[in-house]
Amino acid sequence: MARRIELDGRQRIGAMSTASGTRTFAASDPATGEALEPRFHEATAKEVGQAVDLAAQAFDAYRRTSPERIAAFLEAIAEGILELGDQLLERAAAETGLPQARLSAERTRTASQARLFAALAREGSWIDARIDRAQPARQPSPRPDIRRMLIPIGPVAVFGASNFPLAISVAGTDTVSALTAGSPVVAKAHPAHPGTCELLAGAILGAAARTGLPDGVFSLVQGAGHDVGLALAKHPRTRAVAFTGSLQGGRGLFAAAAARPDPIPVYAEMGSVNPVFLLPGALEERGERIAEGFVGSLTLGVGQFCTNPGMVVGPSGAALERFVAAAGQRVSACPPGTMLHAGIRAAYEAGVERTARSSGVRVAARSAAGPDPKKTQAACVLFATDAAALLADPDLAQENFGPSSIVVRCASGEEMERVAESLDGHLTATIHGTPEDLARHRRLVEVLERKAGRLIFNGFPTGVEVCHAMHHGGPYPATTHSGFTSIGTAAVYRFVRPVCYQDFPQDALPEALRDGNPRKIWRLVEGQLTRD
């Protein structure tokens, strides 16, 4: 049986535990409103500075750490998370209202992605080593010896997400990808699940101690307001920020980082409607089956997924009306669910009311059972409108985080394209169609390639596979930089930068760039990928 850990609500600044501030806050169970012990101390500006300074002091030693030891560290993190046992699941369930079965699956994902990054670190080719050897006899001028690779950037500030308290939080992809890169992490715990964050931080710090890594490679600070996060983003030794959350929160951090004397990148994943386009052939063939899958995706986790399908676009006619009717029946039967915290529920209800008041919009269906505000519950709502109303009111195309979606009727394929053109950037766009539909609507696909980071064919956007090929990002406002992902192994590239070495002697080069290729990684040598 796993040893139960007594939470103390203090900062974890490397190996040191501290609570010098007088301001405290508590988590609460969203299903009951009950306050949860203990109270957590808000980090002071001095404590934030100590955490970042310690990370900066650890940086040079950590970036020289062998890939094998970094891999062992990440594997030890995975083991440490699992060793927390039921206590982690119980605390996360109490703080978020998420069922333990969902959290158990998320714990498995969290450990698995740490191991996936361990394998990436061990194999090593991700550093993108490139070698162009000297050509002293080249005319009209000799070519120098030029070699290039990626190196870590330094301390990274990671912000825990509300909707994935394990997999996109203190021990999630942002943290393990930064650690894989060789960049120390200072994590900001999410104020809605601070106890979960403290438990995960303990697992990471234990793994660091067991693998002999420098003090400061990881720290955790707590805070209920914005001050702690802004202090992290503004600290002169912070080199990048990783954030998953609201558009307002991401923009605030982005503005703070851009206003620094030395601006730094903020990789923020913010808002996305994730439109679903229904093409005529698929709608006629299997509209009711699509409706069933759509409502399942819409209501998964009470709609609290960044890939939640918040809009459906299809051709006007009997087939679309059958889809709406079938989806409406399932929405009506869907019981209200407890959301992550009261703030998310309030924002969701305000969004539902705003959409319901919009001209040209009707409520097509809503959960038959009413939500209980005392249990932080929200009901599923399906709206319907047409392309003219949507194009006249861009607010209808904005994310409302939770289990609501809007069906948009279009008079033609060209009108569907105009709707697609009007959309902001999104994490995903989904197309349901036949091969013939795709051939006839190639222009729509081309538009969506510009609007989304991931295109899904005959599926649904919820459920993001953690793998090498995944891209979880998209044009603004989905993210602040569409060239990077926050899920999958390519996430490591957010926390590195290239360095080029010209005419360095062999023994002064990093191992990965030496002629003998002692690490046996894939390298681009004279334009050819090789391990030689």
Number of neighbouring beta carbons within 10 Å of residue 140: 4
- Residue 211 CA to residue 65 CA, distance in Å, equals 11
Per DSSP, the residues of 71-132 read HHHHHHHHHHHHHTTHHHHHHHHHHH---HHHHHHHHHHHHHHHHHHHHHHHH-GGG--EEE
Q: Environment class of residue 199 by beta-carbon count within 10 Å: exposed (0-12), middle (13-18) or buried (19+)?
A: buried
Token digits for 198?
Answer: 């403290």
- Residue 464 CA to residue 496 CA, distance in Å, equals 24
- Residue 334 CA to residue 456 CA, distance in Å, equals 25
- Residue 484 CA to residue 463 CA, distance in Å, equals 19
- Check: CB of residue 238 under 8 Å from CB of residue 156: yes
Marked catalytic residue, from 42, 95, 198, 269:
269
- Check: CB of residue 241 under 8 Å from CB of residue 253: yes
Residue whose token pair is 């002692």: 518
Residue 410, classed as helix, strand or coil, is: strand
- Mark whether 306 is an active-site residue: yes
Compute CA distances 295 → 299, 306, 325, 376, 400, whole Å.
6, 16, 12, 21, 16
Marked catalytic residue, from 42, 47, 95, 306:
306
Measured over the CA atoms of residue 236, residue 242, residue 244 and residue 246, the dihedral's sign is: positive
- Residue 202 CA to residue 334 CA, distance in Å, equals 38
- Mark whether 75 is an active-site residue: no
- Residue 416 CA to residue 138 CA, distance in Å, equals 56
Non-local CB neighbours of 346 within 8 Å, separated by 6+ positions:
none
Side chain identity, residue 467:
C
Catalytic residue ranges: 269, 306
